Amino acid sequence: MASDPLADVALERLPLLESLPAEVRAQVRRRFVRATQSFGAVIVREGEPADALYVLTSGRARVVKRGDDGEEVPLNVLRAGDVFGEMALLERTTRTATVRASSDVEVWRLDRAVFDELLVTWPDLKKHLELQASLSCGDGEALLDYDPTAGTSTVLLGPTVNGGSIVDALVYPGYE
C-alpha cells in the first residue's frame, strides 16, 4: 500500500491516473506496493505473463527486446515517473520486452488481481487506461482532462499542448 508521502505525490501526478475522479484515483493509489531492485535486476521479462503494472519512482531502467539473433536490442530508457506494463495487463498478453534496472531503482507495483478488482469496481477505468496509454501524436503531446460536472473527458491533441497550440479536441461522454 502506498504510504510514503513522496510516493503518494508521485502517484497522484501520474498522467495514467491524474484525470481519474478523485475517489477512483485515491483507491488506485492506495493499492500500489513499493519494491526496490538492484542494478542489473530484471523487473519484467519479455515473454512472461503480465502480472502487474509498474511506476518507476527513482532510478533508471532500460527497456530491451530480443533480436532475431538473440542479442538485446535497446528500445528505451525509463526514468522516475514512467509507467510500464499497463498494455500487457490491459490486453492480458505476455510481456513484449524486458525491463532491467540500470541503477538501483524503486518501483510501485499494481498487481493483476488488484487491477482486475479495480476494473470490476470501476468498469470505466479500463477505457480510461486504454485511452491514456494510446494517446500519442508523433512528436506532439496529448492531454486528457476529466470534467466531473459534465461527466466527460476531453482529449486535447496537438504538437505543443503545453505551448497552447491545440489542433484537435475529442470529448468522450460518461468517461469517468
Alpha carbons 42 and 38: distance in angstroms, whole number: 9
Kindly indicate the confidence band of residue 107, based on its pLDDT and cuts at 50, 70 and 90.
Answer: very high
Alpha carbons 152 and 154: distance in angstroms, whole number: 7
Alpha carbons 79 and 32: distance in angstroms, whole number: 18
**Full-model pTM:** 0.68
Delimit the domains of the chain by residue range.
5-134, 136-176
Residue 154: is its pLDDT beyond 60? no
Alpha carbons 60 and 78: distance in angstroms, whole number: 6
Query: Looking at per-residue confidence, does 137 or 88 come out higher?
Result: 88
Q: What is the pLDDT of residue 97?
A: 93
Poorest-pLDDT segment among 1-15, 37-51, 154-168: 154-168
Residue 159: is its pLDDT beyond 50? no
- For the domain made up of 5-134, give the CATH fold: Jelly Rolls (2.60.120)
Alpha carbons 26 and 141: distance in angstroms, whole number: 26
Cβ count near 138 (within 10 Å): 6
